[in-house]
Structure 1
Amino acid sequence: MIKNNIKIDNNEREREREQSQLESNLSNKTKNKLTHNNKNKIVVWALFDDAASSYKNGIKQYFNKNSDNLKIEVHSIGINDIKFAESQYYFYHQIDLSITNFLLIKQLSALPKPDIILASPPCESWSGADCNGKITRSISSEGIWEVKNKQYYDERNKTCHPVKRRFFEQKERGRLVGECTIGGTITIIDYFKPKVWVIENPATSKIWEFQKNHWNFNNAYINKTYYSAYDENFSLKPTIFKSNIKLDLKKEHKKSNNEHMALGSYLVRSLIPKELVKDIIEQSLEKINI
């Protein structure tokens, strides 16, 4: 009797070992597929959602209620070492999203495959507001760049007003960050091929010219909106949400808060109205027939 029990126990252990080995041999791609096949759940990757976490907060405000049949699992991803209260539907992953991260695809492949990608890559280096201080001037359709060098800034700083002085090292660092992060964003979208992807940046940003003339990333809809159309606590802030689907976003020039951009901190200026996030998610779900 004892010998038989030992034999049975050994057989059970062997089956458990084989099952464990089988599970460990599953590729990340297969694991992602198993997660993705849950028809009552949508996976959203929120790229660069590590400052104000606008995408996560907007979804949390309006979705994933107890009465909702469909649940949205949000994976906020960014380079900052931050923590927020993770739960059943909200997760944060510290990953360098720039194209210079050689492990980028491998690291992201460990996450559930995205149905929707929302991306807000850094916009500072693409701003046209700095006039003669900006480093990237133009990128022609032939791929010819006009970028100011160190000599330009050294000479400019000798004659301009002290408050308008700009330093090449700072500008060059910002330029490289901007180019590498939008490059990483496009690479991620091309590789993972979500049903819906959206890239956000100011309407006047040079990032759109860079995508078109350097990356040949053109096959998309340019969806323009104004933040104050969704929330009067925001400034007008003309913004584009470039996407692979047409988004019918609000364009009314409503009462706005001019101090939002003029006096707000970087964190405040990075916020996206929660109602706008809600609108984008609802239209995205409709487009993919959810």
Structure 2
Amino acid sequence: MKNGNACWRQLKPTPAHFRIRMRADYNSRFNYDRSFLNRVNGELCIYNTIEIIKRYQPKVYIIENPAFGRIWDYIEHILGFSIPFDNLTFYSDYGFFVKKPTKFKSNIPLRLSRQGLPSKVIWAKFKGDYNERSNIPLSLLREIYPQIIQHLQDSKNDNDTKEII
């Protein structure tokens, strides 16, 4: 859709970065109610995620979403929450059949593949269900978890050293 996706209309250069689209903005077949509900659910989900991070201040947190999704602007500009590390990767680098550029934004750096291997299937012709399209490849998780464990062990060793000094 012009000027943004289904629910968000990005306005430039005004200070109001986003505004909710009106029904009249659509000139094609589109289910406004469903899209609006999905947007609200997405906003509430990420709002609550950020609130949990703020309250409990975990040693490690990672948020996964499509690389070019508007949720990243929403987190930074609307919620005012800065996530220090932008870990871009492609699911195709981990054996997934489509390229699927994805960000794992986190408070620790992750060393993830950024090759962007070509897709084996054209996304528009893919007939899989939502869960099949959305599952994080197991090989990618196997690359992330040891990095989390290493970070936690390094943090523990740093704290042990500080206590000795």
Secondary structure class of the residue paired with 2:53: helix
- Are 2:29 and 1:145 equivalent residues in the alignment? no
* Counterpart code for 1:213: H
Match of 2:110 in 1: 247
Secondary structure class of the residue paired with 2:63: strand
User: Which residue of 75, 78, 81 maps to 1:214?
Assistant: 78
Kindly report which structure 2 residues correspond to 1:96-115, keeping only aligned pairs within 5 A, or say none. Answer: none
CA RMSD of aligned residues (A): 2.2
- Are 2:98 and 1:226 equivalent residues in the alignment? no
Maintained 8 Å contact 1:223/1:243: yes
* Counterpart code for 2:108: I
User: Which residue of 29, 37, 44 maps to 1:180?
Assistant: 44
Secondary structure class of the residue paired with 1:196: coil
How far 1:273 moved relative to its partner? 0.6
Structure 1 unmatched ranges of 5 or more: 1-130
Normalization by structure 2: what TM-score? 0.81
Structure 2 unmatched ranges of 5 or more: 155-165
**Shift in CA distance, 225/238, structure 1 to aligned 2, threshold 3 Å:** same
Which segment drifts farther, 241-250 or 133-142? 133-142
**Shift in CA distance, 275/260, structure 1 to aligned 2, threshold 3 Å:** farther
- Are 2:127 and 1:238 equivalent residues in the alignment? no
Match of 2:6 in 1: 134
Structure 2: distance between partners of 1:214 and 1:254: 33
How far 1:255 moved relative to its partner? 4.9
Maintained 8 Å contact 2:76/2:82: yes
Secondary structure class of the residue paired with 1:288: helix
Secondary structure class of the residue paired with 1:201: strand
Structure 2: distance between partners of 1:250 and 1:205: 20
Maintained 8 Å contact 1:142/1:213: no
How far 1:259 moved relative to its partner? 4.8
Structure 1: distance between partners of 2:139 and 2:102: 15
**Shift in CA distance, 258/149, structure 1 to aligned 2, threshold 3 Å:** same
Normalization by structure 1: what TM-score? 0.48
* Counterpart code for 1:246: P
Sequence identity (%): 32
Maintained 8 Å contact 2:89/2:116: no
Maintained 8 Å contact 1:229/1:254: yes
Maintained 8 Å contact 1:139/1:213: no
**Shift in CA distance, 216/139, structure 1 to aligned 2, threshold 3 Å:** farther
Kindly report which structure 2 residues correspond to 1:115-126, keeping only aligned pairs within 5 A, or say none. Answer: none
* Counterpart code for 2:54: D
Match of 1:8 in 2: none
Structure 1: distance between partners of 2:116 and 2:40: 35
Structure with the larger RCO, 1 or 2 (CA within 8 Å, 6+ apart): 1
Match of 1:26 in 2: none
Structure 2: distance between partners of 1:275 and 1:242: 18
